């Protein structure tokens, strides 16, 4: 069986052995996305405990968390483009194996240099898997595949930290157990996907004939990016503001790992649920407008809030920011699926995710500036830019409705 030689599906979403085996492969690709979300984000709940045991400053632990985004940049760009050339599965498995190796290294040692290197390499692996798998599920199921892939990955982002928050409470070995379970989940997802592929005997999706590529790809790529990229910055800027920054400003009496895990579960859980609701309701492309507008509301409210927030303000903010992240992610991925030529879909998906992940630097930026006044100015500027995104998308959709739902 080859994972890189293209074969032509009989129908979108089916491999050559029929829809049942195609569904199995689709489920396998979703399993990889779920595991990727878990292994990428379970570290959030470990941060307070690791910081205490290793005597790390807030800036140091934020750097360890944020360096993951630096690994994502080459992973996303190389992974997406490589999956267009060599096939989605081969790149997805390479990414999962990379994340697995880094996770095992951090299981063995939680020294700061190992954590920095481990999180960086996890970022590379997650980038490879995210870009290739998102393009893969889009190839298999069209807009529904893109939307489902985004929701499943977000669910992994949500349940990973919440699970780790419970695991880390088992005692001194809790951190290692959490890394071990994350590694086991990645292995299980890889096994499920390999088994599905062997059963279906599928390979990489077909690409457009050479005669079509030069005519359709550049124009389609520009069109796809022009719709998707304006939504990208508000995905993880909203999510990380919700589950990294706001919990430090709301005091609820929970242990730090549980508070971080609960906030992450709530923000990413809301993000995943709103994506599912949007799909069930066949919400149209103006949903992206709503997502950007909600991001603006979240940033403005956080900027105006006192340094110590009451729970009555913090909780609604987590929900608003979660909805903003989910809707912007969903609409950006669907915009790409609708407009992007299949032969460059992986590369464009990687470019979209690169811009989304710049938002992971927001908590570190707010920590570095330190001053509540400076933080409020940054958040107010982001609110203005998100509002501009919402308005410009609404106006453009009034002139050019590029898709129906």
The token pair at 316 is 């609604």
Please count the other Cβ atoms lying within 10 Å of the Cβ belonging to residue 401. Answer: 11
Residues 324-376: tens digit of each pLDDT? 999 999 999 888 888 888 888 888 988 998 899 888 788 878 888 878 899 99
For residue 3, pLDDT beyond 80: no
The token pair at 401 is 């409705």
Residue of 385 and 342 predicted with greater confidence: 385
- Cβ-based burial of 158 (10 A; exposed 0-12, middle 13-18, buried ≥19): buried
* Gyration radius (Cα) of the chain, Å: 20
Residue 16: per-residue pLDDT: 41
Residue 199: per-residue pLDDT: 82
* Angle in degrees, 0-180, between the axes of helices 233-240 and 362-369, rounded to the nearest 10: 60
Q: What is the C-alpha separation between 240 and 234, in angstroms, rounded?
A: 10
Long-range contacts of 211-214 (CB under 8 A, 24+ apart): 213/341, 213/343
Residue of 256 and 301 predicted with greater confidence: 301
The mean predicted confidence, pLDDT, of the chain is 84
Dihedral sign, Cα of residue 324, residue 343, residue 139, residue 100: negative
- Per-residue pLDDT band for 124 (boundaries 50, 70, 90) equals very high
**217 contacts 344 by C-beta, under 8 angstroms:** yes
Residues 244-281: tens digit of each pLDDT? 889 888 877 666 667 777 888 899 889 989 998 998 88
Residue of 399 and 388 predicted with greater confidence: 388
CATH topology of domain 19-205+216-399: Growth Hormone; Chain: A; (1.20.1250)
Residue 256: per-residue pLDDT: 64
Residue 219: per-residue pLDDT: 57
Lowest mean pLDDT segment, chosen from 4-13, 351-360, 384-393: 4-13
Residue 405: per-residue pLDDT: 61
- Per-residue pLDDT band for 19 (boundaries 50, 70, 90) equals low
The token pair at 154 is 């977000």
Which H helix or E strand runs over 191? helix 174-200
- Cβ-based burial of 313 (10 A; exposed 0-12, middle 13-18, buried ≥19): middle
- Per-residue pLDDT band for 318 (boundaries 50, 70, 90) equals very high
Q: What is the mean pLDDT of residues 124-137?
A: 93
Which H helix or E strand runs over 347? helix 345-357
DSSP character at residue 249: G
Please count the other Cβ atoms lying within 10 Å of the Cβ belonging to residue 221. Answer: 20
HSE-up (13 A, CA, CB side) for residue 24: 18
For residue 5, pLDDT beyond 70: no
- The three-class DSSP label of residue 2 is coil
Residue 255: per-residue pLDDT: 65
Residue 224: per-residue pLDDT: 85
**161 contacts 355 by C-beta, under 8 angstroms:** no
Note the pTM of the prediction, 2 decimals: 0.79
The token pair at 376 is 């409020």
The token pair at 66 is 């944020």
Q: What is the C-alpha separation between 89 and 91, in angstroms, rounded?
A: 6
Residues 175-194: tens digit of each pLDDT? 899 999 999 999 999 999 99
Residue of 189 and 147 predicted with greater confidence: 189
Count of residues in the chain: 405
């Amino acid at each position: 069986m080859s994972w890189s030689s293209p074969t032509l599906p009989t129908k979108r979403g089916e491999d050559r052995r029929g829809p049942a085996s195609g569904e199995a492969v689709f489920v396998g690709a979703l399993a990889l996305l779920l595991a990727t979300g878990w292994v990428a984000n379970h570290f959030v709940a470990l941060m307070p405990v690791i910081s205490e045991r290793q005597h790390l400053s807030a800036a140091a632990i934020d750097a360890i968390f944020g360096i993951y985004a630096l690994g994502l940049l080459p992973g996303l760009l190389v992974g997406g483009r490589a999956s267009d050339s060599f096939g989605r599965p081969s790149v997805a498995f390479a990414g999962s194996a990379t994340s697995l190796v880094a996770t095992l290294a951090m299981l063995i040692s939680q020294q700061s240099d190992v954590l920095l290197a481990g999180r960086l390499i996890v970022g590379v692996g997650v980038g490879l898997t995210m870009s290739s798998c998102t393009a893969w599920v889009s190839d298999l199921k069209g807009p529904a595949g893109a939307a489902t892939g985004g929701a499943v990955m977000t669910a992994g982002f949500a349940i990973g930290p919440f699970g780790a928050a419970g695991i880390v409470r088992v005692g001194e070995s809790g951190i290692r157990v959490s890394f071990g379970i994350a590694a086991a989940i990645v292995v299980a997802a890889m096994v499920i996907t390999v088994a599905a592929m062997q059963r279906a005997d599928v390979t990489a999706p077909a690409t457009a004939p050479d005669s079509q590529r030069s005519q359709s790809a550049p124009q389609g790529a520009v069109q796809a990016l022009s719709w998707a990229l304006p939504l990208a910055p508000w995905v993880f800027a909203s999510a990380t503001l919700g589950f990294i920054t706001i919990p430090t400003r709301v005091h609820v009496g929970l242990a730090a790992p549980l508070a971080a895990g609960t906030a992450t579960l709530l923000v990413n859980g809301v993000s995943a649920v709103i994506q599912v609701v949007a799909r069930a309701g066949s919400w149209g492309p103006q949903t992206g407008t709503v997502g950007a507008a909600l991001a603006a509301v979240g940033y403005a409210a956080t900027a105006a809030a006192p340094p110590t927030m009451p729970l009555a303000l913090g909780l609604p903010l987590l929900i608003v920011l979660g909805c903003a992240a989910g809707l912007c992610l969903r609409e950006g991925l669907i915009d790409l699926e609708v407009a992007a030529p299949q032969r460059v879909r992986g590369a464009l998906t990687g470019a979209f995710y690169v811009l989304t992940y710049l938002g992971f630097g927001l908590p570190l930026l707010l920590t570095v500036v330190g001053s509540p006044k400076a933080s409020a100015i940054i958040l107010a500027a982001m609110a203005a830019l998100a509002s501009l995104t919402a308005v410009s998308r609404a106006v453009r959709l009034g002139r050019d409705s590029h898709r129906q739902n």
